[in-house]
Structure 1
Amino acid sequence: MKNIINQYIKPIIYCSVLLTMMVASCKQDDYYVDGGKADPKFKGNMMEYLESNPKFDTIAQIVKLAGMEEAFKNEELTFFAPTDEVIRRTIGIYATGTLNTLLFDLGKDTIKVLADVQPEIWRKYLNRYLFKGKMTAKDYPQLDFRLKPLYPGGFYTGYNRDLANIGVVYNPVNGVNYIGYRQLSFSYIPDPANPDNFLPAAIASSDIQPTNGVIHVIAVATGGSYFIGETMQSFAANMYGFDGEFLTDVILSK
């Protein structure tokens, strides 16, 4: 059954979600939704920061449901944080291609509360955004999407062994390369054997520093795969887990 869904339904899920996001983006003029400004230092642990920020109310609940609360309180971590908006767009209610629409069309129970998703599923995809140790933007190498052989960024293994490419993009000023503002980029790599197939996300706010780690906030895309300055941004950043597998796993669990 899982092979059938992976072969036929998963591509439909992914394409449907992307189409929905593209239609929605045509109604907006902004390039992306900024994660907001924050003081670099926060007097509390990572869990306390998520609970204190309205942009992460839902993410904080997911951390608890995933059984990761103690890790977010006590371990040294770097978290590339999706906002609550990503969860809203992934689960949805009415939009074509969202999880609840797909569940309804398949005759399965829809997601009414976050606890309707199994803890191990929340945990599996939460760990894609999570890395051990504290890493601020200055700790990552340079990345140039247009010249990756020279400036490839770096490859990092996540909390659950998922692979990501992370780097700092140096933007140009008046046609002079690399002297402008610097922006952090996070790309999930679905297949480690094919690192050229990556799903990039621009970082809206970086280097938020609770007492036990660093949080970098992922931007929400409102256009197609495009560049914010010199930083590549994909629709995939709007889906929890990036590539539609989360939707497949929840459907299979019902």
Structure 2
Amino acid sequence: MNNYSAQTHKKMKQLLILPVLIMIIFSACKKNSYYEDTGINDPRFNGTIMDYIKSDTLYFDTLVRVVKYAGLEESLSKDPLTFFAPPDPCFKKILDAVSEYQLRVGADSVTRFEQIKPEVWKQFLQMYLFPGNRGLKDYTQVDTLALDTYKGALFESVSNAPMNIGVIFNDAISGNPNSAGGSTVLKYQGYRQLMLSYVPDQARPYSFWINAVVSASDVAPTNGRVHRLRYMTHTFGFDPFSFIQAAREKGIDYN
């Protein structure tokens, strides 16, 4: 190939590559703008606590129905409250527990929450409701392995149920565990999450807790705060036997 042909070939190659480079750069710019860190999402919700749980049908469809059935819709729409909201699977777990108990004692099973009296649902829903507006930053640290030092704080729910609320300070890992230097555990330096605990024995307020960990905190409707509980590790009512006992005492509807 002579010099003229070689130069012509080189120029043609450059002309072909140039549009491809432009497309790559343009795509990269678009991708960078898409992934640009825009900061923390606004936790405020333009509506009441009731409006918020109605809006989140993925997690709270059953909760909304139970709240209405229990007669708490007005309270969640007007009162200044902090709500540790149990997602829908928590209700399925307690209904399953009721049914299993019923079958063990030779009674009919329970398949619908309406078979249990509204006052029972109200009593146990109020365990998750607290007067006032409190976010994660308003609670003290809790460590169930070091309660002498980090014990959270005792609260009464709106139904006067004894509860403990605290912030878990998780550990952080620094370094690569597969490297020569290994990794270092940084005590209490990781992410923080709220924990709501039922205190079954008031005479021993730091014993026998039944814990519910928060998976998403600090949603701020106009009349308070909502903290969504982690449904995988929580059954509605905290203590299934207490719920079953209350449901049976009030009478179960088999129609």
What is the TM-score when the length of structure 2 is the normalising length? 0.72
Which of 57, 60, 66 pairs up with 2:64?
60
Structure 1 residue runs of 4 or more that deviate by more than 4 Å after TM superposition: none
1:136 and 2:135 matched: yes
Deviates more, 1:69-78 or 1:162-171: 162-171
Give the secondary-structure state (helix, strand or coil) at the position aligned to 1:167. Answer: strand
Superposition CA RMSD, Å: 1.7
Q: Deviations over 1:82-135 (max 9, x none)?
A: 11101112113xxxxx21233244444433432221111011100111101000
The structure that is helix-richer by fraction is: 2
Which of 213, 225, 230 pairs up with 1:219?
230
1:242 and 2:235 matched: no
Which of 16, 33, 48 pairs up with 2:51?
48
- Per the alignment, residue 93 of structure 2 pairs with 89
Number of residue equivalences: 197
Q: Deviations over 1:21-45 (max 9, x none)?
A: xxxxxxxxxxxxxxxxx85111110
How far is 1:199 from its partner?
A: 0.6
Please tell me the residue identity of whatever aligns with 1:88: K
- Per the alignment, residue 184 of structure 1 pairs with 194
How far is 1:73 from its partner?
A: 0.1
Given that residues 61 and 88 in structure 2 are in contact (C-alpha distance below 8 angstroms), is that contact kept between their aligned partners in structure 1? yes
Q: Deviations over 1:181-227 (max 9, x none)?
A: 11111111112112212111111111111111111111123xxxxxx
- Per the alignment, residue 28 of structure 1 pairs with none
How far is 1:142 from its partner?
A: 1.2
* Structure 2 residues without counterparts, runs of 5 or longer: 1-40, 174-184
Q: Percent identity?
A: 35
Please tell me the residue identity of whatever aligns with 2:55: S
2: CA distance, partners of 1:136 / 1:194: 27
1: CA distance, partners of 2:209 / 2:104: 30
What is the TM-score when the length of structure 1 is the normalising length? 0.73
Given that residues 103 and 251 in structure 1 are in contact (C-alpha distance below 8 angstroms), is that contact kept between their aligned partners in structure 2? no
- Per the alignment, residue 193 of structure 1 pairs with 203
Larger radius of gyration: 2
Q: Which has the higher contact order (CA 8 A, sep 6+)?
A: 1
Give the secondary-structure state (helix, strand or coil) at the position aligned to 1:211. Answer: coil
Q: Deviations over 1:210-252 (max 9, x none)?
A: 111111111123xxxxxxxxxxxxx5x22x2111211122233
- Per the alignment, residue 228 of structure 1 pairs with none
